[in-house]
Amino acid sequence: MEKRVALELRGKSPLQIKELNLDNCRSTTIVGLTDAYVNLEILSLNNVGLTTLKGFPALPKLRKLELSDNRISSGLNFLNGCKKLTHLNLSGNKIKDLETLKPLDEFTNLKNLDLFNNDVTNIEDYRSKVFALHPSLKYLDGFDKDDVEAEDSDAEEEDEVNGNNDSEEEGSFNEEEDEDEAEDISLSAVYNANLEEESSESSMFEASDVEEEEEEDDEDADGDGDDAEQNSKAQDGNENAHGEPEESTRGKKRKHDDDEN
């Protein structure tokens, strides 16, 4: 058992252990478990071969103890250091009489007791007597006083114990969701801002291109007007140049004819 305990620790401190499973590790006595496991809540020692509970450590937070299929016939008083015990499974052991169960009177929180497959269950009016000896009991061998079967009593106990932890985890989860949403919104805002900036820059570039094209069209139009004006002037110049020689030639011809006459 000592080696199994060390193996189940997996490098952790006993203070960090809340649940410990030592099923089938084979030992007749409690070895390796100490009072250092002050935060242990669930301990399973099924089918180990225990004949005595002598040396069982004081576990102030232990609420569930599995001891089925061992050879325990007495010594339940060694569990007195586990005052918060709510679930005790002693099925498949060697308990023969009600006197052996008397030490359980000190467990005022005990709600679920399993003595199935013990000789004590053969006593006349066994169930009513056990319920009378232990008023805190809600279920005996999986049934209440009215023989109504328990419905996931273990799950209910665990939900009660873990209720506060679940609410804290839910709160932290909601906070993480809020942070993620805020991050998504901020990223979206940055992305949209970048898109708007790129769009405005694109619009500016397009506007400047349009202005440049209009200026080029205006320059082309002015150039065409100047060329037309120059062509018109050149044409007029050519007509004058040709006109003047024609007049002088005719004048000379008339003068020659006059001289001959």
- pLDDT per position as a tens digit, 198-208: 555 555 545 45
Nearest to 85, CA basis, from 68, 100, 57, 106: 106
Mean pLDDT within 118-147: 95
More confident residue, 147 or 160: 147
Alpha-carbon distance of 212 to 219, in angstroms, equals 11
Percent of the chain's residues with pLDDT above 90? 56
Domain that holds residue 58: 2-151
Q: What secondary structure letter does DSSP report for 207?
A: H
Of 127, 151, 175, the position where a domain reaches its end is: 151
| Sign of the C-alpha dihedral computed for residues 113, 119, 120 and 124 taken in this order | positive
Q: Are residues 118 and 192 in the same domain?
A: no
Please give the order of strands across the beta sheet that includes 112-114.
19-21, 42-44, 64-66, 87-89, 112-114, 139-140
- The sign of the dihedral angle between the CA atoms of 11, 16, 19, 22 is positive
Phi then psi dihedrals of residue 203, to 5 deg: -65, -40
Q: Name residue 63's beta-bridge partners.
A: none
Q: Among all chains, which residue has been given the structure tokens 């999986």?
A: 142
Asked, for residue 233, whether it belongs to a domain, the answer is: yes
The answer to whether residues 221 and 105 belong to one domain is: no
What is the rounded distance in angstroms from the CA atom of residue 186 to the CA atom of residue 191?
9
Binned at pLDDT 50, 70 and 90, residue 214 comes out as: low
By three-state DSSP, how is residue 74 classified?
coil
Name the percent of the chain lying above pLDDT 70: 58
Q: Do 136 and 130 form a contact (C-beta atoms < 8 A)?
A: no
Higher-confidence residue of 144 and 226: namely: 144
Residue 224 pLDDT > 90, yes or no?
no
pLDDT in tens, 57-116: 999 999 999 999 999 999 999 999 999 999 999 999 999 999 999 999 999 999 999 999
Q: What angle do CA 10, 13, 14 make, to 5 degrees?
A: 100
What is the token pair recorded at 91?
A: 């099925």
Tell me if 156 is assigned to some domain. Answer: no
| 51 in any annotated domain | yes
Same domain, residue pair 136 and 181: no
Question: Whole-number mean pLDDT of the chain?
Answer: 76
Is the same domain home to 117 and 43?
yes
Residues 6+ apart with CB under 8 A from 17: 8, 9, 37, 39, 40
- Which of 130, 151, 172 finishes a domain? 151
Q: Tokens representing 117?
A: 């497959």
- pLDDT of residue 239 exceeding 60: no
Same domain, 43 and 120: yes
More confident residue, 42 or 187: 42
Residue 209 lies in a domain: yes
> Does residue 243 carry a pLDDT above 80?
no
Residue 247: pLDDT band with limits 50, 70, 90: very low
CA gap 91, 103 in Å, rounded: 17
71: its two tokens = 């050879």
Say if pTM beats, i.e. exceeds, 0.85.
no
76 and 178 belong to one structural domain: no
